[in-house]
Each structure stands twice: as C-alpha cells, then as structure tokens.
Amino acid sequence: MASQKKILLLGSGFVAEPCVEVLSRRSENVITIACRTLETAQKLANKYPGVLAASVDATSQEQLEAIVARHDLVISLIPYTQHVNVIRAAIKAKKHVITTSYVSPAMQELNQQCKEAGITCLNEVGLDPGIDHFYALKTINSVHREGGQIKSFLSYCGGLPAPEDSNNPLGYKFSWSARGVLIALLNNAKFWQDGKIVEIPGKDLMASAKPIFIYPAFSFVGYPNRDSTHYKEIYSIPEAQTVIRGTLRYQGFPEFVKALVDIGFFNTEEQEFLSRSNTEPLTWNQLTARLLNSSSDKPSDLVKDIEPRIQTDNAELKNRIIKGFQWLGIVSDNVSVRKQGTYLDTLCSRLEELMQYEEGERDLVMLQHTFEIINKDGSEETRTSTLLEYGIPNGFSAMARTVGIPCGVATQLVLDGVISETGVLAPMKESIYVPIMEELLKDNIYCTEKVL
C-alpha cells in the first residue's frame, strides 16, 4: 500500500475543485483545503470523502509556516502576490510547492533557496500558462530536432461564453473579478513582427485587435498580451521573426471596450461622490452626465453626447455600441448606482450584476498556436495546435477544468517522483511537460495538431 501523502491546497476558487477531484482519485492522498474562512473551505471539502478543511490567514507568515510544515506539498491557488510567502514557508519546512501562476521575479529570487532545501517549486501548470507551453514546446522541439526552424509563432487563447450564452453586447461573461479583466485591457503590449519589435501603448490596445481565423463558425478577434518578446528566449526560438501571444474575444468586444475607455469609464481615481460611505442616491444617468460634463442628464441627451466620442465611421457598429450602453443601463434614469469609489470599480460592479454565468450556461476555452516552419530542406509549412474545450452545464467550467486538472496532474507527478527537479521551475523541459501531457490525455484534455 502506498504511503500517505498530505497535500495542502490554499484557496477554494473555481479552479480548485477539479484539482481536488484529480488528487482524490488516489486513496493515499490526504487533502486539506485551507481558506481564511473555515466555512468556505468546508463547503468544498464536504464534496469529497476524506478531504479536510482548515482556516489560515495567508498574510500571516507564522500561520503559513505552521500549516505548511504539517504537509508534504502545498498547492497555492491564492492571489499570486502571496506566492512568495508560501514558497518561503515551504523552503523552511522543505516541502514542495505547485502554482498555476507565472514565475515572478520575486519568486525566481528564491530559486537557489529551493534547490538548497531540495524542494520542487513548479509553476505555470494551468492553461495559459500551462497547456500553451506544453504544446508550443512539443512542436518547437520536434522541428529543431529535425533540423528545421521556426519562422513565426502565434499563440492566441481565450476563455469565453459558449456561443449560445454570449448573449450580451460584450459577448463576454465574468467568472471572476471584472476589475482584473478590465485592467488587463489597458496593458502595454510588445512583440516581434517580421524581425522588428512592435510596441503598442495600453490606450491603443483595443484598437489593435484584428480578426483571428480558427474555425469558420467563430468570429474571433485577438489582441497582443503584454510582452511576448522574451518568448524567443523562453522557447529557444532565436530564429523566429514573429512572436506574438494574444487574447481571443468575440468580434465587437474591443470596439465596445474602447468606447468605454474613450468616455472615461476606466478612470481609477477616487471620486468623493462615488464613495461607498456616500449615501446620497445616484442613478446611472446622473453618474454618466457627470463623467461627460454634460449639461443634461436626460437619457436621450446623454446618447447625443456619447455618439461623437465613439471613434468609428461604421454607423452600424456605432449603433450597436449605443444600444449596448442602453442595455448596460449607464444612461438610464431608473437604475441605481452601487458606488465603489472610482468610475472603473463602479462600472465593474454594474458589469458583474449583468454579466454572470446563469445556471445551466456553459463557457468555452479556445487555444491555438500557429507555427510557420522552414524545414531542413528549405521547404515551408504551417502547423497548428488547437484546443477547444466546452464547460459542462451545471458542472465544471472549461476554464476550471483546463486550469485545475493540469494543476492536479502536475501535483501528483511531483508526489510520485516523476517530476523531481528542484528549484523554482516552469514546465519548459520535456522531463516536466511530457508526463503532464500524457496524463492529461486520460481526462481528454489535449491539442489537436495539424499540418495545413
């Protein structure tokens, strides 16, 4: 009989349960879910026989060290800003760590200490980052072994409502904080294009979106993510002339968001009249009139003030955006404002009211890599790796499955000693990503690879 393995899972968000489900398949695993509030941890733990619950304040290093020391491995699914404290606790207790987050500079600084403690600190084992790395490197390494080169690497990924549930002006729904989603839309972008570095300031990011063809049934658009330039080094493709990693959304999303930005709804400065302590009643038309510095707060007058600020010559698109604003209620005189301190946070609160997944609705995840390849004999070809995953109505979402299951699989492989390298790691070596890919096939999670 296998010896008992004690696993600590910090956090109980929506990606946690698929991870727990994977680990609970092995009888020797004793899982403890720990959250700040015990009841929150118990709610998830009660779904699986033998899974325990605990309370821990992850901002307390003393509490972290005490609970980590009682386990063999800790999975950190709490906000990435807390990972460094978790890793420090694990170093002290000589316990392994798993996260699905990108390796931050602060985490990387602990690499040598992890090695000296003899522990594996494996990160980036979700979807993006995670599955995207596995299939990018699989093709890249195969091409290099055959003497070929990667001329261009494009990678686009998105978590979206399934088409039948994309029934709002943004074609989007929130399964976590709207603020995090919206703030990311203002990030600067940087990538390689035809041998040159291209930089796009955050204010122009939505305007840079362009159609991305994957399947004819989907009207996707994509825009670049932050800084893709360092993936030349990460993926060992110095020869690549184009390297772009981007986000997928449905058509119409960028233009709608850009209009919100241009009007001023992404303003993050504290506003006294939007203070949560301000109890004076406020309707959305009044808020929007103030934002626009309009002389009238009549809905029809606000629409007239908004129209010139929508920067498009496409009359049909402009009309769709106006109707979208009316759907949101931001020019309405009978929708009360839930004040959140800033224009952005108040908008987020409204979006979260209207754009949650309803019971029985499903999401989808789409990931595609496109490789332009120069073969050893000089011939050229295009290959793709594509993942399309749908959520299960009233079950696991596609996003939860494609993040939580790889995390659980990677955890089990570390516990089993299949992945044994020490230090702060991302899955960039075949010895790490190949075993994870092979195990994911058992859960029907894989990319379909084609030569076009």
| First CA to last CA distance, the chain | 49
| Rounded Cα gap, residues 247 and 221, in angstroms | 8
CA-CA-CA-CA torsion sign (281, 286, 292, 296): negative
Where does 79-201 show beta strands of DSSP type E?
96-99, 120-122, 149-161, 189-193, 196-200
| Rounded Cα gap, residues 281 and 98, in angstroms | 47
Tokens matching residue 445: 């999670």
Contact present, 259 and 276 (Cβ < 8 Å): no
Contacts of 418 (CB under 8 A, 6+ apart): 435
Contact present, 243 and 198 (Cβ < 8 Å): no
Check if 313 is active-site.
no
Contacts of 231 (CB under 8 A, 6+ apart): 153, 237, 243, 245
Contact present, 254 and 261 (Cβ < 8 Å): no
Q: What is the CA radius of gyration of the chain?
A: 24
Nearest in space to 398 (alpha carbons), one of 409, 387, 407, 385: 387
Residue of 72, 128, 297, 363 marked catalytic: 128
φ, ψ of residue 85 to 5 degrees: the values are: -65, -40
Contact present, 311 and 262 (Cβ < 8 Å): yes
Q: How many helices (H) and strands (E) does the chain have?
A: 16, 16
| Rounded Cα gap, residues 219 and 252, in angstroms | 9
Residue with tokens 């390297």: 243
- Angle of the 315-328 helix axis to the 299-306 helix axis, nearest 10: 140
Helices (H), 94-174: 105-108, 111-117, 131-145
Nearest in space to 447 (alpha carbons), one of 367, 373, 381: 367
Contact present, 207 and 228 (Cβ < 8 Å): no
- Any idea which residues carry the catalytic annotation? 128
